Amino acid sequence: MRPASGKGRVGRFRQLESASAARSEGRKGFVALLPFLVPASILAACGSNERVRYRMTVEVETPQGVKSGFAVRESIYRTPPNLPMLGEDRGGVRVKGEAVAVDLPNGDTLFALLTSAAGDEDYAARIPDRFLGRGKQRWLMSDSVTVWPPPAEGGVPLLVRFRNREDPKSIEVVDPANLEATFGTGFRLRRIAVEMCRLCSVTSGIDGRMPSYGAGSGFAEWYATLAWADPRRVGPESFRRGMRE
């Protein structure tokens, strides 16, 4: 066998050089994609949050006409990470927002709380998926739903008032079907509705309409005496949550 000619050796060298350059370009392309691939993998590993804002409106008929109040809240749905070994985070939902307050002409204030009349602590957080179709295809979602009347299948908010606005122990549960028993003749719950409010800001300011739950109020001691099923077992977390986020 004859040894390879000079031209053959040069051609072979150029083929090897081209292959090496191609591998180098491939590595460069992969490195260039790293800034995009790494954040995506981190997000998948850490999970994600979906934020859905909605507005609840409460209308009350009074001897002086219809009075209303509303609150814009944000439900935050947590999707768990794809890599379970990173922790025990299984996802869930929480709410950022406040109760609805309706100032009445007799000086009272009616509150529609974040908890339900049936005692569901996640009531306000789950309104987008229970009433407005969050998680479904867009054409199956509802922009507005009446919660009362009649009572919606997903429940109604717990309604309360304070007989003494300075005393949290004076809290009183209000029957949505019989406001007259609490406020007198001519008062009736007209409507409770919820609607998507994607561009709205979360409302605040309920603190000025409710009593202090501080150490000097005696609330903690009074609360400890209540039976487990007593509907007055309502703390400040039923009026506002997550407002410091």
Three-class DSSP category at 33:
helix
Through-space distance between the first and last CA atoms of the chain, rounded to whole angstroms: 81
Q: How many residues does the chain have?
A: 245
Using DSSP's 3-state secondary structure scheme, residue 109 falls into strand
Residue 208 CB partners (closer than 8 Å, separation 6+): none
SS3 84: helix
Q: Computed from CA positions of residues 177, 180, 185, 189, in that sequence, does the dihedral angle turn out positive or negative?
A: negative
> How much is the pTM?
0.77
Give the other-Cβ count within 10 Å of 173's Cβ: 15
In the chain, where the domains are located:
49-213
Residuewise pLDDT in 10s, the chain (245 residues): 455 555 555 455 455 455 555 555 555 554 455 455 445 444 445 667 889 999 999 999 999 999 999 999 999 998 877 665 555 556 789 999 999 999 999 999 999 999 999 999 999 999 998 888 765 544 445 678 899 998 888 899 999 999 999 999 999 999 999 999 999 999 999 999 999 998 999 999 998 899 999 989 999 999 999 999 999 999 999 999 988 75
Instruction: Please check whether residue 71 is in contact with residue 154, taking contact to mean a CB–CB distance below 8 angstroms.
Output: no
Dist CA 187 CA 225 (whole Å) = 32
User: What is the pLDDT at residue 78?
Assistant: 86
Long-range contacts of 176-182 (CB under 8 A, 24+ apart): 176/117, 176/148, 176/151, 179/60, 179/110
Measured CA to CA in angstroms, residue 230 lies from 197, 221, 226 at distances of 34, 15, 6
